[in-house]
Structure 1
């Protein structure tokens, strides 16, 4: 796993570049390699983690995620229930 900073990302075209943490390499980033939930985009200056793959046109990032983010699944989490009688929300 590598870390770097998003140099730029074009939402309309769905790609951009990440600057490696040592500041020496630009790495191609495609929206399909972003592992975040929801709308898959990156912002200039954003710190990210990623894996590297050597492609025909050079290095590109895979498994791109915001640095410090952890995606976990917790089956114990339940949404709060609405108490219709008193119009209050309870946490079970």
Structure 2
């Protein structure tokens, strides 16, 4: 699992971005892939999957 920080998350629209700790890469996250409720600046752990639109964080949970 990767670790990172929630850079942005819009609860009304159900999506946001996470900055990966080791690479500073940003990955998309959708509310359907959350195991916990998240907010900006939360520390999270997650897996990354490659989809049609690029990389997405899945199985996202708070550390």
Q: TM-score, normalised by structure 1?
A: 0.65
Please state how far the C-alpha of 1:22 moved relative to its aligned partner.
2.2
Paired residue for 1:48? 44
Q: Which has the higher strand share?
A: 2
- Higher relative contact order (Cα pairs below 8 Å, separated by 6+ residues): 2
Q: Which segments of 5 or more consecutive residues in structure 2 lack a partner in the other structure?
A: none
Query: Structure 1 residue 20 and structure 2 residue 16: aligned?
Result: no
> Equivalents in 2 of 1:44, 1:14: separation in Å?
13
Moved over 4 A (4+): none
Alignment of 1:20-39 (within 5 A): 20-36=20-36
Cα drift, residue 60 of structure 1: 0.1
Larger Rg: 1
Unaligned stretches of 5+ residues in structure 1? 68-92
Residues matched between the structures, number = 63
CA RMSD of aligned residues (A): 1.0
Secondary structure of 2:32's match?
Answer: helix
